[in-house]
Structure 1
Amino acid sequence: MKVAALDLGTNTFLCLIVEGTKDGITKVYKDLATTVRLGQGVDKTGEFHPDALDRARACLTEFKKEIDLYKVDRILAMATSAARDAKNGQELFKIGEDLGIPIEIIPGEDEARITYQGATAGLQNDEKTSLIIDVGGGSTELISGRGKQILFGESLNIGGVRLTEKFISSQPVSASEQKAVEDYIRQQIQSILPELQRNKIDQVIAVAGTPTSLVAIEVGGYDEKKVDGFFLAKDRLAYWVHEFAATTVEEKKQKYQLGGRADIIFAGASILLAVLDALKLPGMIVSTKGVRYGVALEMLKK
């Protein structure tokens, strides 16, 4: 069966077109990503900005062209944080209806399972306890598990777009704004730290655009074979947080090819670093998988 799994995030829209069986994915045809910034201003206004909806329509129109080329059997788009928060969220669903792309909001209780199974797709080691970190634009998911069993899952209202809009007025980031971001992240993590520490965590697996962008810089450009499975040490992560705080958005675009992620990468990297600090761990494994793989696996199982 061929399926198209879409992950409509607060910052980035992703589209994965795969073939597979109920036992898993056998072939990947396309893995597309576009910076849409759907969450633009949602934290302040409670609504999707008209420009964000225009970008969403343009992106999904392009995705649908690709999906039609591969004659898929099923399509499903999952929307997360921004769609839950926006008063005019129905406008996003209307775009999906117009294009023949069914959009669902991931229920909170399913989000952890879908994210976990997507992030661990292809991993063999069932003995280790893994903590999955999915830093989004509006929220960050933290899910610990062993093998197929989920031990704990929580969604925190900290994400790259949300924190940048809330705390950062200009870049380079001032010392006081850096501290405000760090303090806020730390408070959020402290609220779930006892639960996270209940099971000794053997490894952290980070998914989504923030960690994969960092590794792309480390290895000299995005190459999935080099990025997937890369171990990003905590001292390198700390170096990048400092570097992103000290540079303008334009410098981040020019020097590090960060494109539409340049203005939010400081906040995103700060979240990753704060988690490693809280758990006193030496680094994280970066995975190029995530929610879209989980959504594809869900469709293949059914």
Structure 2
Amino acid sequence: MNKVAVIDIGTYSTRMLIASYQLKETLEESIKTIKDILSLGKITSLGKKVQETGYIQQESMLETLTVLKEYVMMAKEYKVENIIASATQACRIAKNASEFLLKVKSLGIDVSVISGEEEAKLSFLATAYGVMPESSFVVIDQGGGSTEFAYGKKEDEKYKLIKAISFPFGIVNLTEKYIKSDPPKEEEINQMRKYLKEQIKIAYQDMKDTKEIIGLGGTITTVMALEKHIYPYDSSKIHNQILTFEAIDRWLNKLSKMTIQERKAIPMIEDKRAEAIISGIVIFHTAMQIFNADKIKISEYGLRHGRLIKYIADKLNLDLGV
């Protein structure tokens, strides 16, 4: 039994998965042995004001490093063979990203900045093998600084990625750019929606034949927790579940009329997420409208599981093209 810690250093949150696996003859057989041991996530807002200033703020950097130190201690307690990490949009664009990454590496974390396309491919891999759709599907991985759309289908018992697009919008930069009022004005949300429509239509042109939409990220899992009254959070009650467009529309209307403080008072919404959740819901709401989708399936398998699958593939000397 092998154990590894996989960390996702996102623009909005920093998450760690400790999982066990066994190497088998094929990647598919090896993936089936993966077992989640521990899954953690904290909102660290690494990308706060990066779009505006070009730099990771010192406060956000320190908060993220503090969380990473805790993760390293936990990983060592579980005696993992390796601690690997992916950094995404904030570290792609920040002028002081190299300073931050050096500090991360000094903690004993093997970290790499992945491109938006790589992020989309990894999320596709994880979702494909985590949800196992039977036909064509689009994965929407909504993050803090970028959102990935990946389109693929099942062929000969394997999943084939057809198209992947990474857009430079997420809940952090959308909130900073468009939402100036508390609660947000309808005009602010409409301006955001107008921008998103222009972007998402680009993905739709190449992905319109999809039979299924699958959503990843803290926003969509939070909406599911709200809809199903799940508290405390339980990923087993979220993964592979269905949210209707009607439910997303209802929660968008309800939450957008609340102040940040009122949203914070809802147990299912983390304090920091209360500030940016509206933008996240608008992303999914707009995407479902453009794709004419009346429902979306939720996946708990995202970038961390994708990175784990790539890690196993590397050990098997397989090239996944990521």
- Deviation (angstroms), 1:183: 0.7
Q: Structure 1 length normalisation: TM-score?
A: 0.96
Pair 1:110-2:121 in alignment: no
Pair 1:90-2:98 in alignment: yes
Supply the AA of the counterpart residue of 2:144: G
The match for 2:227 among 218, 221, 241 is 218
**CA–CA distance in structure 1, aligned partners of residues 118 and 172 of structure 2:** 23
Q: Structure 2 length normalisation: TM-score?
A: 0.90
What does residue 240 of structure 2 align with? 229
The match for 2:74 among 66, 80, 97 is 66
**CA–CA distance in structure 2, aligned partners of residues 74 and 58 of structure 1:** 19
- Deviation (angstroms), 1:27: 2.1
Do the aligned residues in 1 keep the contact of 2:183 with 2:259 (CA within 8 Å)? yes
Pair 1:13-2:14 in alignment: yes
Do the aligned residues in 2 keep the contact of 1:3 with 1:300 (CA within 8 Å)? no
More displaced 10-residue stretch of structure 1: 112-121 or 172-181:
112-121
What does residue 26 of structure 2 align with? none
- Deviation (angstroms), 1:297: 1.3
Do the aligned residues in 2 keep the contact of 1:203 with 1:284 (CA within 8 Å)? yes
**CA–CA distance in structure 1, aligned partners of residues 118 and 141 of structure 2:** 14
| Structure 1 portions without partners, runs of 5+ | none
More displaced 10-residue stretch of structure 1: 272-281 or 250-259:
250-259
Do the aligned residues in 2 keep the contact of 1:121 with 1:293 (CA within 8 Å)? no
Do the aligned residues in 2 keep the contact of 1:74 with 1:299 (CA within 8 Å)? no
- Deviation (angstroms), 1:47: 0.6
- Deviation (angstroms), 1:225: 1.8
What does residue 294 of structure 1 align with? 306
The match for 1:144 among 151, 163, 167 is 151
**CA–CA distance in structure 2, aligned partners of residues 263 and 46 of structure 1:** 21
What does residue 78 of structure 1 align with? 86
Do the aligned residues in 1 keep the contact of 2:120 with 2:141 (CA within 8 Å)? no
Against the structure 1 CA distance between its residues 139 and 108, is the aligned structure 2 distance closer, same or farther, given a 3 Å change threshold?
A: closer
What does residue 133 of structure 1 align with? 140
The match for 1:250 among 257, 261, 275 is 261
Query: SS at 2:261's partner residue?
Result: helix
Pair 1:266-2:278 in alignment: yes
The equivalences for 1:140-179 within 5 A come to 140-147=147-154, 148-179=159-190
- Deviation (angstroms), 1:192: 2.9
- Percent identity, aligned pairs only, is 29
What does residue 296 of structure 2 align with? 284
Greater relative CO, 1 or 2 (CA 8 Å, sep 6+): 1
**CA–CA distance in structure 2, aligned partners of residues 86 and 16 of structure 1:** 25
**CA–CA distance in structure 2, aligned partners of residues 203 and 256 of structure 1:** 30
| Structure 2 portions without partners, runs of 5+ | 24-29, 316-322
**CA–CA distance in structure 1, aligned partners of residues 161 and 5 of structure 2:** 25
Query: SS at 2:169's partner residue?
Result: coil
Supply the AA of the counterpart residue of 1:131: V
Q: Give a deviation string over 1:242-275, Cα, whole Å, max 9, x none.
A: 1121111111110243121111100000000111
Query: SS at 2:243's partner residue?
Result: strand
What does residue 198 of structure 2 align with? 187
- Deviation (angstroms), 1:139: 0.8
More displaced 10-residue stretch of structure 1: 252-261 or 84-93:
252-261
**CA–CA distance in structure 2, aligned partners of residues 295 and 78 of structure 1:** 8
What does residue 207 of structure 1 align with? 216
More displaced 10-residue stretch of structure 1: 63-72 or 16-25:
16-25
Query: SS at 2:46's partner residue?
Result: coil
Do the aligned residues in 2 keep the contact of 1:7 with 1:14 (CA within 8 Å)? yes
Query: SS at 1:100's partner residue?
Result: coil
**CA–CA distance in structure 1, aligned partners of residues 251 and 148 of structure 2:** 22
**CA–CA distance in structure 2, aligned partners of residues 193 and 92 of structure 1:** 36
Query: SS at 2:222's partner residue?
Result: helix
**CA–CA distance in structure 2, aligned partners of residues 15 and 8 of structure 1:** 9
RMSD: 1.3
Query: SS at 1:262's partner residue?
Result: helix
- Deviation (angstroms), 1:160: 0.5
